[in-house]
Every structure is written in structure tokens, then in C-alpha cells.
Amino acid sequence: MRALRWHGTRTAAVADDIAMPRIEEPRDAVVRVVRSAICGTDLHPFRGEIDAFTPGTVTGHEFTGVVEEAGPEARGLRPGDRVVASDIIACGHCRSCRRGWHYQCDRVGLFGYSTVVGTRAYDGGHSEYVRVPFADTVLFPIPDDVGDERALFIGDVLATGYACAVGAEVRPGATVAVVGCGPVGLLALEAAWVLGAARVLAIDPLESRRKLAAERGACPVPATPDVDQQVADLTDGRGTDAVLEAVGTDAALLTALDVVRPRGTVCAVGAHASEAMPLPTRLAFAKEITLRFAVGDPISDFEPLMNLVRAGRVDPTFLISHRMPLAEAAEGFRLFDSGEASKVVLIP
Ligand SMILES: [Zn+2]
Ligand SMILES: [Zn+2]
């Protein structure tokens, strides 16, 4: 079968001679992929930023498809079922899973991400077929009246954006700032509207991204050194009630802490990786800020998210700038890496 494999920094190639995945454990399923997407998270190994990434990995953790084969204990799944996968692999049975904390699962994993998350590597969705472990927990049915592309992002970026808005305690009437208007930030913005935000300020250094946010009803704010002053001017000097941080750098988090109002809440869903950062605790204490980190949980939040998508209250397909055959996946990475594409969907 055909799949994209990562071989090293900015080196990924499609091959046609990759072994078909098969059922290895009773709760496995094998899914024939219908749509997959390239995520910002995939750019970290692509750019060579993760030393431990294993060459030969089939990447991709956002995908939909059709169940080809289901193991004897993959309850509720049958060949022919249309499904969307959670990016997070979780057992569904351990203490953390029972609490609905799937990223804290004892056996957590991430499709197509080597052993960066958890201890086991699983090949991903930039492929014609994928083996899905714990399939009765990890896969969710797509209703007949919902197309694959509308369902696709529930498995990752929509769930992450939604967790960000919920984590920042966006309330009806709130003024919200989104820091970073990539796919996750834009879907955090959509989630803020769903939760009743009255106003959203969209902070990003790139004009193209600010334009996308403005098209979704946000007030664009350039991420310049005086961004805190700009936000102050736009909020009668108060700052915003909630800040949704979707970048994952120290600078973005410092901006979030700067622009939030006293007693406001910051939720960070950018993939932070600093061992230490200069947290301005004097400011955080004086403003009595609540700071929360979240990863996003498509397994726990599938139902509310599918309801929003099905009802048309959120249509994440606006993100998609490029649709390409899987055979051209390496070019898709190049376009996404260079910023020419805002979101690439691959079609096997
Ligand atoms: Zn992702
Ligand atoms: Zn678990």
C-alpha cells in the first residue's frame, strides 16, 4: 500500500511498497483512510526539531475512513462503518481514562509520532490504511449526513481549539483574545463564539492569518512589541477576560499573560516544550491570573463537537487551503512548512 514516510529533516517520501497493517490485538481495527490532514504538530519532526523521531515513521494523526476489519473485541465496530479517529490513542479502561483524561492514559500514544508521546510507536494516517489500537475507544462513527471533511478535524485541531476556549472559561458576553491564528487558534476562535463571546481579538504576526481570523468575525491585532498596549486601547485599558494561547512559545505565553485582565484566565494549548521560562510571577500574582494548560481530548469531547458540526454551528472546513492526492504528500508538507498552505488535506 501507499503511505508517506518521514526519513529526516525536511525529507519525507511516499512509497507504494509498504506492508498492509493487520489486526494485532483483539481491540484493533484496520481503517481504509478517506481523508487525512497535515497538522502543525507534524512540522516539528519535519523540521528536524525532535531528535527521538524514528526514520521510516508513517506520519499523520488526523484522519477519517472506513473500517476495513475489526478485531473480535473492538466492540460496536463493523466493516463498512465510517469513522473519525482521535489523534490521541488511549486504552479507555485505566484510571485516567475512566476520569475522561485520555492524554494521561497509562498507555497513551499519538498516531504517526514515533515514541514522542507514550512508549509505543503507531504508524499514522498519511497512508491508505491504518491500524487503530483500542479501536472501540479511539474511533467514532460519522453520521450519514456529515461528510468526511467536516468530521476530520474533530479528531484533533477542533477538539484542541474547543478545549482551549473551555479551559479559558469563555462566558457569554466575554471579550476574548486568541494568540496565534493557525488552525488551532482559528478553531479556538470559533469555539469562543459558540461559548457566547461578544468580541474576539485575534493576535498574530502574519497578515494572512489575521485576515482569516477577521473573516471569522475577529478584530485583527498585529503581534508587535506593543501588543499589550493595542489590546489595552481596545478594551478600555482592562485587557481581555480570557486568552486562548495556540502557539506554544514562551513569547506567546508572555503575551497572553500581558493582555489578560485582572482575574482573567489564560489557557495554553500550544505545544510548549521549554524546560524553564521567565514567568513574570509578580504580574501573575498582582493580576490574580488563572493559567491552565490543555492538550485537547477528542475522545471525551466527541459528542458535543459532532453535535456542533452536525448542526452547522461550526464548519471547520474553512481551514482547508489545499486538497492533494496522497501521492503528493511530500509537496503538501513543503507548502504547509513554508506557510503557503493554511491546512492541507490528503486524499488517498
Ligand atoms: Zn495535531
Ligand atoms: Zn487509559
- Ligand 1 centre to CA of 233 (Å) is 34
As separate numbers, helices (DSSP H) first and strands (DSSP E) second, the chain gives 12, 18
Ligand minimally distant from the alpha carbon of residue 105: 2
Gyration radius of the chain's alpha carbons? 20
| Residues 50-95 pLDDT 10s | 988 999 999 999 999 999 999 999 999 999 999 999 999 999 999 9
Ligand minimally distant from the alpha carbon of residue 99: 2
Ligand minimally distant from the alpha carbon of residue 45: 1
| Angle ∠(297,303,304) on CA atoms, nearest 5 | 85
- Ligand 1 centre to CA of 213 (Å) is 20
pTM above 0.85, yes or no: yes
- Ligand 2 centre to CA of 307 (Å) is 25
- Ligand 2 centre to CA of 106 (Å) is 5
Ligand minimally distant from the alpha carbon of residue 111: 1
Residues 268 and 167: their CA atoms lie apart, in Å, by 8
pLDDT of residue 273: 87
Ligand minimally distant from the alpha carbon of residue 299: 2
- Ligand 2 centre to CA of 280 (Å) is 35
Ligand minimally distant from the alpha carbon of residue 110: 1
At 231, is the pLDDT very low, low, confident or very high (cuts 50, 70, 90)?
A: very high
Question: Are 267 and 239 within 8 A, CB to CB?
Answer: no
Start-to-end CA distance of the chain, whole Å, equals: 10
- Ligand 2 centre to CA of 101 (Å) is 8
- Ligand 1 centre to CA of 153 (Å) is 9
Residues 92 and 106: their CA atoms lie apart, in Å, by 10
- Ligand 1 centre to CA of 122 (Å) is 15
For residue 286, pLDDT over 90 is answered with yes
- Ligand 2 centre to CA of 105 (Å) is 4
- Ligand 2 centre to CA of 86 (Å) is 14
Ligand minimally distant from the alpha carbon of residue 109: 2
- Ligand 1 centre to CA of 235 (Å) is 32
For residue 173, pLDDT over 90 is answered with yes
Q: What is the mean pLDDT of the chain?
A: 97
For residue 263, pLDDT over 90 is answered with yes
- Ligand 2 centre to CA of 98 (Å) is 7
Domains (ranges, CATH) in the chain?
3-156+298-347 (3.90.180.10), 159-293 (3.40.50.720)
For residue 171, pLDDT over 90 is answered with yes
Average pLDDT in the 161-189 region?
98
- Ligand 2 centre to CA of 340 (Å) is 38
Residues 247 and 100: their CA atoms lie apart, in Å, by 25
- Ligand 1 centre to CA of 300 (Å) is 16
| Residues 136-169 pLDDT 10s | 999 999 999 999 999 999 999 999 999 999 999 9
pLDDT of residue 348: 97
For residue 237, pLDDT over 90 is answered with yes
pLDDT above 70 covers a percentage of the chain that reads: 100
pLDDT of residue 52: 87
- Ligand 1 centre to CA of 270 (Å) is 10
Region class of 64: left (phi > 0), else alpha (psi between -120 and 50), else beta = beta
pLDDT of residue 292: 98
Residues 308 and 200: their CA atoms lie apart, in Å, by 19
